[in-house]
């Protein structure tokens, strides 16, 4: 009998037990609780950011997970880190299935060394993040959040710092840095708003960008021409800090930066300087280098920034979407013998 280990985390909780349906394929299902001491969202966020920034081995090893994985064939993780120790001690492990598009949960080099495939579900957040991104653009440019905060304090004044450049999206140039599953949906929505869409994505290719009705440009040109810039890259060693002082210096003083991707793509101090010194018009941020923001952080007092608490990928049915996608991926493998969406180098 084959064995599947399913890791129960703070966010998904007992919903992970839906994987019991794979018993019909002859699997023994073993459930492991990941860090049961995590009892609130702040504690979970701190743990999540820790392994996203520094890798899964920066967290204490879950010995129960290590033991359960020793004879596992498939491991399913939602938002839990899988340690390199667990990978190395697993004798029969074929694949670790990560229920997200990011795979920071696992050290890919170790997985390659152990001959373990890392399987993800790309695009699970494409719809909520793309919709949220458009919402952030409008909220920042139209002062929606600022007006809400004022009215809650019985203040109906409409004099905002960006009154002279509170643009419509129609007719304005919106630059997308990265145009994958999320960015391409953002581009499609922007076209419906009659915006001019500029795209920097060397991995996509100029012809493909033109087929989408967008204009391919280099990063410098995008920074110079855009009225709004939205970031949609993955965070890697190559993309870390790709938006810094040099890029802000090229932007219009009325340009608005949107980041619903990863905080590390933007140099934080360079962004603070750009906002404080009005080198750019404003920003809307859903991700931060430290979450929650520490006391006294400049973002709390800046008038030209809209902040949300890492909500872009949130929707009431997101776990159900993730579960269906991973269920279908595993089922396809069991019926065909071939994994789809293998992200590490050991393909096949």
Taking the C-alpha atoms of residue 226 and residue 56, their distance in angstroms, rounded to an integer, is 37
Output the six-digit token pair for 43. 């504690």
Catalytic residue among 78, 225, 232, 310: 310
| Phi, psi for 4 (deg, rounded to 5) | -115, 125
Catalytic residue among 262, 268, 327, 341: 262
Q: Is 335 a catalytic residue?
A: no
Where would I find the H helices in 55-202?
63-69, 84-89, 108-114, 126-142, 144-152, 181-192
Output the six-digit token pair for 241. 């800090």
Where would I find the H helices in 155-252?
181-192, 206-211, 219-225, 245-250
Number of Cβ within a 10 Å radius of residue 212: 17
Q: Is 297 a catalytic residue?
A: no
Taking the C-alpha atoms of residue 244 and residue 247, their distance in angstroms, rounded to an integer, is 5
Q: Is 246 a catalytic residue?
A: no
Catalytic residue among 35, 291, 297, 346: 291
Question: In a 3-state reduction of DSSP, which class is residue 229?
Answer: strand
Are 160 and 183 in contact, with CB atoms under 8 Å apart? Answer: no
Taking the C-alpha atoms of residue 58 and residue 163, their distance in angstroms, rounded to an integer, is 46
Preceding amide of 292 cis, omega within 30: yes
List residues with catalytic annotation. 262, 291, 310
């Amino acid at each position: 009998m084959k064995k599947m280990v399913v890791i129960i985390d703070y966010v998904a909780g007992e919903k992970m037990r839906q994987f019991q349906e794979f018993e019909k394929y002859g699997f023994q299902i073993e459930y492991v609780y990941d860090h049961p001491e995590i009892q609130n969202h702040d504690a979970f966020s701190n743990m999540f950011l820790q392994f996203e920034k520094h890798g899964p081995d920066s967290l204490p090893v879950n010995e129960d997970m290590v033991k359960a994985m020793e004879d596992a064939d498939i491991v399913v993780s939602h938002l839990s880190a899988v340690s390199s120790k667990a990978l190395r001690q697993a004798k029969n492990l074929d694949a670790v299935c990560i229920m997200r598009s990011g795979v920071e949960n696992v050290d890919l080099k170790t997985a390659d060394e152990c001959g373990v495939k890392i399987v993800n579900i790309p695009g699970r957040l494409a719809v909520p993040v793309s919709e949220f991104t458009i919402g952030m653009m409008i909220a920042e440019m139209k002062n929606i959040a600022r007006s809400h905060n004022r009215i809650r304090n019985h203040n109906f004044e409409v004099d905002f710092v960006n009154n002279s450049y509170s643009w419509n999206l129609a007719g304005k140039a919106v630059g997308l840095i990265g145009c994958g599953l999320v960015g391409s949906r953002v581009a499609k929505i922007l076209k419906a708003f009659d915006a001019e869409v500029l795209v920097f994505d060397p991995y996509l290719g100029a012809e493909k960008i033109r087929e989408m009705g967008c204009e391919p440009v280099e990063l410098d040109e995008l920074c110079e021409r855009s009225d709004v810039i939205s970031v949609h890259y993955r965070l890697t060693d190559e993309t870390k800090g790709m938006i810094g002082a040099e890029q802000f210096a090229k932007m219009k003083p009325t340009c608005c930066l949107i980041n619903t991707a990863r905080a590390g793509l933007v140099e934080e101090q360079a962004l603070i300087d750009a906002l404080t010194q009005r080198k750019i018009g404003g920003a809307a941020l859903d991700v931060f280098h430290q979450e929650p923001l520490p006391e006294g952080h400049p973002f709390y007092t800046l008038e030209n920034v809209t902040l949300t608490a890492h909500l872009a990928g949130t929707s009431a049915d997101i776990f159900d979407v993730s579960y269906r996608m991973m269920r279908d991926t595993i089922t396809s493998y069991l019926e065909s013998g071939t994994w789809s969406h293998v992200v590490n180098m050991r393909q096949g």
